[in-house]
Amino acid sequence: MAPDLYAGFPEGFFRRDDERPDEVFYGSPRLVTHIDDAAITAVGDLYAELGIDGSAAGPQRVLDLMSSWISHFRTPPAELVVLGMNAAELAANTAATERVVQDLNADPRLPLPDDDVDAVVCCVSIDYLTRPVEVLAEAGRVLRPDGTLAVTFSNRCFPIKAVRGWLLTDDEQHGALVAELVRRAGRFTEPEVSLRTPPGRGDPLYAVVAHRLP
């Protein structure tokens, strides 16, 4: 972790209770959903509104970071690169056209060339990154100019694998935190934070959206 990228964060903010290699925890496939149906629908609605799914005019190439067996697109994009920790989960993702097994906490560098994708999404996983600014900077590198970054999150997680700072902050603070991480990546427009589900009904689904600078 580069200290200057995280200046001002308390010591240990991006550490976890379980610091074993992530491949141990994620070694067994979990073919389950981590948010309720309404929140899943909200993710798909967001992607459609942003014009980054298969319903958009023209071809779309999308990178789904920290992905699993489902990517929550209402209509999958023409090309979907899914990057996650478990090969069996990624193999079960029928929307995927490319699959990459990689631990971003061990190596935040994305195995894609510059200006390669139209959008990068990360669904209910940002809280597990121990080097989030580096990963987001890489997302900016592989995005085409004006490409879309969409980070969504809720209030569920694996507590032993979420970073401690996430566990010590509430939903509203999570939005501010993700927005600040996007700013520190240095490659994006000012991030916009929104609540995508009705307050007080089911799992909340928040989104932080920004676009790659020219």
What's the pTM?
Answer: 0.94
- CATH for 3-211 (3.40.50.150, 3.40.50.1360, 3.40.50.10890, 2.60.40.10): 3.40.50.150
Helices and strands of the chain, counted as H and E runs: 6, 7
Quote the CA–CA distance of 76 and 174 in Å, as a whole number: 28
Domain ranges of the chain: 3-211
- Buried/exposed 174-194: b ≥16 CB within 10 Å, e otherwise: bbebbbbbbbbbebbeebebe
Q: What is the mean pLDDT of residues 111-129?
A: 97
Give the sign of the dihedral formed by CA 187, CA 213, CA 191, CA 99: negative
| pLDDT at 86 exceeding the cut of 70 | yes
| pLDDT at 26 exceeding the cut of 70 | no
User: Quick one: angle between helices 171-185 and 132-142, nearest 10?
Assistant: 60
**Assigned token pair, 5:** 């990228």
Lowest model confidence (mean pLDDT) among 7-16, 54-63, 106-115, 118-127? 54-63
81 vs 33 pLDDT, higher one: 81
